[in-house]
Amino acid sequence: MIHQKMAALQSDDSAVEIKHVSRVFGAVQAVSDVSLSIRNGEFITLLGPSGCGKTTLLNMVAGFINPSSGAIHIGGRDVTDVPVHLRDTGMVFQSYALFPHMNVFDNVAFGLRQRKFSKAEISAKVMQAIEMMSLSGMEQRRISQLSGGQQQRVALARAIVIQPKVLLLDEPLSALDKSLRAQMQVELIELHRNTGLTTIFVTHDQGEALSLSDRIVVMSKGQIQQVTEPIDLYRNPANGFVASFIGEINALPSASCSVTSQEVALDIGDVRLVAPRRAEWQVASGRPVKAFVRPEHIRIAGPADAGRNVVTGEVLTHIYQGSHTITRLHVDGLGQIEMRLPGGDVVGRIPVGLKTDIAFDLAEVVLLPDTAA
Amino acid sequence: MRSVLFWSLVAAILVYMTLPAVVVVATSVNPTELMAFPPTGFSLRWYEKALTYPDFQTAFRSSLIVMALASTLATLLGSTFAFLIFHYNFRGRGLLEAALWSPLIIPHFTTGFGFLLLGSHLNLTQGYAVIVMAHLLLVTPFVTRAVFVSLSNVDANYSRAAANLGATPSGVLFKVTLPLVLPGMLGGWLIAAILSLTEFTASLYVTASRTQTLPVAMYNYIREYADPTISAISALLILSTTIIMILANHFLGLRRILGIDNG
């Protein structure tokens, strides 16, 4: 409800436009010709390993760093040359950066005070934000008296209370322990739903990105690798980097393929795998391809498989995780394969050292042209 | 075996460092006019004499005036320098830094003598101005360093967060940076005060008999008399500076001011 109201108030359809932005530091190209259009009210994540340029890009949207070339628009306005304090963005830093010489109330009120609201208005908005972040009763506390989780909420309250055009989150959950992190992820989703704020989230944790985002921007070495929704990203990675970065996956050696109207047959040495053909695949008979199979799409072969997409592997190790087990096998011709099965039965069924048949379910296989060959 | 050697060494260093002060304080309570160590009894008469001796009273007043002016001006000047060096990478920066640290390598008597010459040219030798100027030169580097270290310890993200929330650059300075650097400035001010209070060599040149500071008055006293009054006034001076030191440590941490810890 509030979401739609806030979205309607924005005059422009795209909240943030990044146009051919690059940034160079000396000899290092940190961000390389990045263009991105972020919709109003969207929760978009910049995802990638450290050094990929995601934080640099975020800092350019905030205005802390200027692009070497390109332009940035916020709310339809070109802000490339606009100083930080006039951009109307709200940022949550990885270290929270809460002002140590002020209490919780004054921290949250800081942004409002720069905007010359009346005392009564400030008080009302601050208390509302404090309540929204479950911090009621803590207004007078000093920052040093708060736990990590509480500090994070204050940092969020401080940024959202000013109702910025864009909310910028720089790996805000990385300092939290596992259970607190999971809890905060859920709260972030709810917060986004309640406020409808356009949000740019930066993280290196692909699991986090998958659970929080409307869209994910995968970056590597300063360039965008792929921009799409989480499910699409998981099922249809655009290249080898994205395939390996998102979730767990088995990258099979290069295969030559023969294509029919219904199927694609992959030959990797002596191994032949046959997958149902998907329209979006760019494959042609004779052209080498790389296949990627997720561990959850591999299982112990049974009589129903009748040898189709079945290979023999030697069990190397089991990694028991409680709800599931990762089993590593060595398959001649394919190398090391990881298989994911629920529970822990697999440990007893196929002990280490045993040679066993495993079957590939190739309905969801990722097939990419082999650019290296 | 090694432990005994180690602790003997520690004890020896402690004794060596504190012996002068210990001796002075011990002789100050001696009942007779002799500078006896160890003291033959206990008496506070020399403290009474020291506190009522007119030259010491005047000199202490002078010391306080010079200390107040020099340390306050040094704090303003030193803080400004620290901000400039910290934030800006301008072309003359290396030169400015060198100039700031130069009082540390120039002997105090050279500074004092220089200001004496300057003072006589400007006809200022009989007033407090030359003394304050000399002290200012000598103590400013310490304030600059204290404030610079304090600035370095302020997380850069605080000012970024403030700017992001809408504060103008001057808003960031006054609402965020200055409050966080204030303890450092205060510590610097106190260190400047101690250095000014105990400064002797340069003061010897630039003070006149009317404006002499306490250390100079003490020097003049001991040239004529050799009774425990001098020990008493020394003990009182040690007490004053100790109190100031404790306050400086509370606000900044002495380890950082003196450059032992690097931030």
8 A C-beta contact, residue A295 and residue A249: yes
Residues 6+ apart with CB under 8 A from A300: A341, A346, A349, A350, A356, A357, A358, A359
Q: What is the mean pLDDT of residues A173-184?
A: 88
Give B169's contacts in chain A (Cβ within 8 Å). Answer: 85
Is it the case that residue A324 has pLDDT exceeding 80? yes
Does residue A349 sit at the B interface (CB-CB below 8 Å)?
Answer: no
Q: Is the pLDDT of residue A11 over 80?
A: no
Instruction: Indicate the pLDDT class of residue B215, thresholds 50, 70 and 90.
Output: very high
Q: Which residues of A touch B161 (CB under 8 A)?
A: 91, 93, 97-99
Q: Which of A79, A82, A89, A101 to mutate to test the interface with B (most CBs of B within 10 A)?
A: A101
**Three-state DSSP state, B253:** coil
**What residues of chain A lie within 8 A of the CB of B180, using their CB?**
100-101
| Residue B224 DSSP SS3 | helix
Residue B184 lies inside a defined structural domain of this protein: yes
| Minimum Cα–Cα distance from A102: chain B residue | B176
Residue pLDDT, tens place only, A55-74: 999 999 999 999 999 999 99
Share of chain B above pLDDT 70, in %: 95
Predicted confidence (pLDDT) at residue A278 exceeds the cutoff of 80: yes
Of B154, B160, B164, B176, which to mutate for an interface test with A (greatest number of A Cβ within 10 Å)? B164
B159, closest residue in chain A (CA to CA):
A97
Cβ contact B141:B149 at 8 Å: no
Dihedral angle computed from the Cα positions of residues B167, A34, A232 and A266, in that order, rounded to the nearest 10 degrees: -150
Q: pLDDT tens, B83-113?
A: 888 887 777 777 777 777 777 788 898 999 9
Ramachandran quadrant class, A80 (left: phi over 0; alpha: psi -120 to 50; beta: rest): alpha
Distance from CA of A108 to the nearest CA of B (A): 10
Q: Report chain A's mean pLDDT, rounded to a whole number.
A: 91
As given in the structure block, the two tokens for residue A22 are 């690059």
- Tens of pLDDT, residue by residue over A325-342, are 999 999 998 999 999 999
Q: Report pLDDT digits (tens) over B138-177.
A: 999 889 988 888 888 888 999 999 999 999 999 999 999 9
Pairing label, strands A43-47, A215-220: parallel
Provide DSSP, B61-123.
Answer: HHHHHHHHHHHHHHHHHHHHHHHHHHH---TTHHHHHHHHHHHHHS-HHHHHHHHHHHHHHHT
Q: What residue ranges do the domains of chain A occupy?
A: 2-245, 250-369
What is the C-alpha to C-alpha distance for residues A228 and A117, in angstroms, rounded to an integer? Answer: 39
- For residue B89 the two structure tokens come to 């990478």
Residue-wise pLDDT for A108-121, tens only, equals 999 999 998 999 99
Q: Is residue B13 a part of any domain in this protein? A: no
| Residue B262 reports pLDDT greater than 50 | no
Q: How many domains in chain B?
A: 1
The HSE-up count of residue B212 (CA atoms within 13 Å, CB side) is 19
CB proximity under 8 Å: B 169-208 to A: 169, 171, 175-176, 179-180
Instruction: State yes or no: pLDDT of A217 exceeds 90.
Output: yes
Q: What is the ipTM of this complex?
A: 0.84
A178-195 and A148-160 helices, crossing angle to 10°:
20
| Confidence band, pLDDT 50/70/90 cuts, at residue A14 | confident
User: Is the dihedral angle over the CA atoms A254, A260, A265, A269 positive or is it negative?
Assistant: negative
- What is the Cα gyration radius of chain B? 22
- Note whether residue B109 is domain-resident: yes
pLDDT at position A200, please? 97
Is B98 among the domain residues? yes
Q: Which of B111, B131, B117, B103 is nearest to B213 (CA)?
A: B131
Q: What percent of chain A has pLDDT over 70?
A: 96
**Alpha carbon distance A187, A208 (integer Å):** 13
Give the range with max mean pLDDT: A140-144, B90-94, B252-256.
A140-144
CATH number for the domain harbouring residue B95: 1.10.3720.10
Q: B44 vs A4, which has greater pLDDT?
A: B44
Return the number of other C-beta atoms located less than 10 Å from residue B198's C-beta.
18
pLDDT in tens, B124-140: 778 899 999 999 999 99
Answer whether residue B172 is part of any domain: yes
* pLDDT band, very low/low/confident/very high, at B1 (cuts 50, 70, 90): low
A332-360 mean pLDDT: 93
- For B64-81, what is each residue's pLDDT tens digit? 999 999 999 999 999 998
CA–CA separation, A24 vs B10, rounded Å?
55
pLDDT at B252: 66
Q: Is a pLDDT exceeding 50 seen at residue A233?
A: yes
Is residue A305 a contact partner of residue A359, using CB atoms and an 8 Å limit? yes
Chain B residues in contact with A95 by the CB 8 A cut-off are 155, 157
Q: What is the pLDDT of residue A3?
A: 53
| Tokens (6 digits) for A30 | 């940190």
Q: What does the block give as tokens for A97?
A: 């950066």
User: What's the CATH number for A2-245?
Assistant: 3.40.50.300
Mean pLDDT of A204-231: 95
Q: Is B211 inside any structural domain?
A: yes
Confidence of residue A1 (pLDDT cuts 50, 70, 90): very low
Task: Please provide the DSSP assignment of A278-346 as one string.
Answer: -TT----TTSEEEEEE-GGGEEE--GGGTTTTEEEEEEEEEEE-SSEEEEEEEETTTEEEEEEEESSHH
- Put simply, whether B20 touches A (Cβ < 8 Å) is no
Domain A250-369 CATH assignment equals 2.40.50.140: yes
- pLDDT tens-digit readout, B48-69: 999 999 999 999 999 999 999 9
pLDDT of residue B260 exceeding 60, the answer is: no
pLDDT in tens, B192-202: 999 999 999 99
With bands split at pLDDT 50, 70 and 90, how would you rate the model's confidence at A206? very high
